[in-house]
Chains A and B, each alone.
Chain A
Amino acid sequence: MRDSLKIVADWVPEHSKVLDLGCGDGQLMSHLQAKGCRGYGLEIDKACIVQAIAQGVSVIEQDLDDGLANFEDRSMDMVIMTQALQATRRPDLALAEMLRVGREAIITFPNFAHISHRVQLGLLGRMPVSKSLPYQWFDTPNIHLSTFYDFEQLCIAQNATIIERQVVSQSQLAGRIASLWPNLLGELALYRVRGQQ
């Protein structure tokens, strides 16, 4: 499992009811199910759905941009979205839905303000392409990129409390420094947030 997914998995208490939005091949849900968690993964990629089914994940074919109307308020302990927020049509509505359905939410996304992106855009004048943002501007599914600051502003606007924040970088050393200056040096942002109770 990717380092970032391990951190996410550690944030989820055993036996939680979990909703994983954009669950991919079901790796995280499958890991959480082994911890006694139960719940659903939502996905629209057909190949991923088959892989998730094969792992025994309760995967539902559902487009996140259509909202979560089929899930009741506070029906989940944890609603997770790993590296998919930036690909939603309305990240603000997606976050609001997550905070409605879950007692807590975990969101991870690539930090657009990472130094390598700043150099590419600010100095070289090109749209950034990196390990965390591997697409070209014309074919990227990442239509709503944001930074640590931006996301925290959105949380404030939605009266969401940030419980934990983690920064992930390529190397351990970079990671240690990144925690000092996340918006410049953090490649991947991991947030655990709670909505108004």
Chain B
Amino acid sequence: MIVTPVDLEFDQPLALARGGQLERYQLRYETYGRLNADASNAVLICHALSGDHHAAGLHHPDDKKPGWWDHYIGPGKAIDSDKFFIVSLNNLGGCAGSTGPTSLNPQTGQQWGPDFPDLTVPDWVNAQARLADHLGIDCWAAVVGGSLGGMQALQWSIQLPQRIRHCVVIAAAPKLSTQNIAFNEIARQAIQRDPDYFNGHYQAQGTLPAGGLGLARMVGHVTYLSDQGLGSKFGRQRQADDQDLFQIESYLRYQAEQFTQRFDANTYILMTKALDWFDPAGAQPLDQVLAQAECHFHVISFSSDWRFSPERSVEIVDALIKAEQGVSYTCVETDHGHDGFLLPNEHYQASLGAYMNWIEVS
């Protein structure tokens, strides 16, 4: 499947939940499959912290890697592009083509950098709804996402209940725990304490806080994996060419380096803040907030995920039961921790596929 990203300009201002607005902005997105005549087969894919619009397929036949969710999106796959018209975008504030901290601020002609306005999950839902308007989609057959993407799916069900028929929430939580926020803060501090950070104005200084961003990624990465998963992959093995270096050390350094080449530090801070602030229920009980939803839910968790553990998914499920909403729930047995939501797994594939297959389209 060869796909080509599309850039779309929006010139209507978007008011933001934490104040301010974006006068104009661009969203980069990809689509897989065809929209049917009454637009009843559209599925929105929401990406996680470091994801982007490139969820499936290849951009060029000689690409080494397909999109980040290629195991699950495509012809005949769990999210079947023969059945659905699948839309995947880079969220506002991202660094893969949509307007974000690395874009130019039209008022100054300089990069936004750290001055890019705060974004929240509800803002993303509003921006995604504008994209749906443009594509002629009144109501999504399903909004699907993992991790921070699952939180966007959940937010859709509450914020725009008439525009979503099915909500698939994978490896998510109704809000972050104290420990989750703590890990995010360690990641932010790693970036902000890097001498090359310059309060976020590193671009003007011609530098990059690569050390800090790499460290942030290392911390994050360890929390996405399980002890058992790491152990079975690397154990206490050393590098062939350096007996003093554990393989896990080398692996983390490699992950950090790869990440700093493709990701922006200000974007990382913005995304982790959006995660921390996500709290759709606020002071209200979650079930009362979810009572507004009009869609059917499917919730999936992963047994060894300790970043957003199965118990966090069960919180969502129990609130939905209390709100008398339709919901199915399953926990996938895996050693891969939180990252399990990206990886091939028989039960995950079968249950997600069965759910998506059940969704009616004309």
Contact = CB atoms under 8 A, between A and B. Distances in A.
Interface of A: 17, 38, 40, 46, 49-62, 70-72
Nearest to A42: B329
B317 A60 contact: yes
B354 A60 contact: no
A56 B357 CA distance: 10
Given A59-B328, A60-B329, A70-B318, A54 B347 contact: no
Interface string B310-347: 00001001100110101111110100000000000001
11 contacts: A40-B321, A53-B298, A53-B354, A56-B358, A57-B328, A58-B328, A59-B329, A60-B321, A60-B329, A62-B329, A71-B321
Interface residues of B, number: 22
A54 B357 contact: yes
Contact of A53 (B322, B324, B333, B355): B355
Contacts of A17: 324
A17 B328 CA distance: 16
B134 to A, nearest CB: 32
Contacts of A71: 321
Q: Most A CB atoms within 10 A — which of B318, B328, B331, B351? A: B328
B347 A53 contact: no
B350 A50 contact: yes
A50 B358 CA distance: 11
A62 B357 CA distance: 23
Contacts of B329: 59-62
Nearest to B327: A58
Nearest to A51: B354
A54 B358 contact: yes
Contact of B347 (A46, A60, A70): A46
A53 B321 contact: no
Contacts of A62: 329
Interface in B277-334: 296, 298, 314, 317-318, 321-322, 324, 326-331, 333
A57 to B, nearest CB: 7
6 nearest CB pairs, A to B: A54-B354, A53-B354, A70-B318, A50-B350, A61-B330, A60-B329
Contacts of A60: 317, 321, 327-329
Nearest to B318: A70
A49 B298 CA distance: 12
A70 B319 CA distance: 9
Contacts of B347: 46, 50
Contact of B354 (A50, A58, A70, A72): A50
B331 A61 contact: yes
B129 to A, nearest CB: 27
Contacts of A52: 328
A184 B317 CA distance: 44
A54 B298 CA distance: 12
A191 B351 CA distance: 33
B326 A58 contact: yes
Contact of B358 (A40, A49, A53, A72): A53
Contacts of B333: 46
B113 to A, nearest CB: 45
Nearest to B321: A70
Contacts of A38: 326
